[in-house]
Amino acid sequence: MELTLCLIKPDAVRRDLTGSVLYMIEKAGLKVMAMKMIRLDKRLAEGFYHVHSERPFFGELTEYMASGPIVAVVLAGDNAIKRYRDLMGATDPAQAAEGTIRKVFALSKQENSVHGSDAPETAAFETAYFFS
Ligand code: IDP
Ligand code: MG
């Protein structure tokens, strides 16, 4: 049993896709263990994405993540980190496989509807960032 962090990002919450995203996640057999809707400020968004602080899109990314409410969700399951990453699809929706969340819902490489932890270390940091 493994835990991972999902964020339903501002573009998806704004378009009333929270339930649709959760439906895909639950249908894939991942279990929702904890969930809350929050509004990040710029500083919280920067802390969450600190690994990307040197990337050229960091300013834009953190502005976008603070642009409206998000839903933070802890998911559990066997091999949950990889299974949820596979379900999300590629960062750029143009590259995402059919049937993935980003293929179905994402607007652009930045406004790509969902986040998912990419390794056990990031999953531990990211779940603790939002849940005690
Ligand atoms: P991931 O979310 O698929 O793990 P990362 O490379 O970790 O992708 O990037 C984090 C987030 O930063 C992406 O989900 C996306 O919102 C944004 N992002 C990544 N690359 C770009 C880019 O080239 N332009 C604009 N935003 C980007
Ligand atoms: Mg990432």
Task: Confirm whether 115 is a catalytic residue.
Answer: yes
Print pLDDT tens along the chain (132 aa): 999 999 999 999 999 999 999 999 999 999 999 999 999 999 999 999 999 999 999 999 999 999 999 999 999 999 999 999 999 999 999 999 999 999 999 999 999 999 999 999 999 999 999 999
H or E element at residue 75: strand 70-77
Which ligand places an atom closest to the C-alpha of 52?
1
Gap from CA of 118 to ligand 2 centroid (Å): 6
With contact defined as beta carbons under 8 Å apart, do 94 and 43 qualify?
A: no
Q: Whose CA is nearest to atom 25 of ligand 1?
A: 110
Phi/psi of residue 118, each to 5°?
Answer: -110, 0
Q: Whose CA is nearest to atom 3 of ligand 1?
A: 91
Gap from CA of 49 to ligand 2 centroid (Å): 8
Q: End-to-end CA distance of the chain, in Å?
A: 19
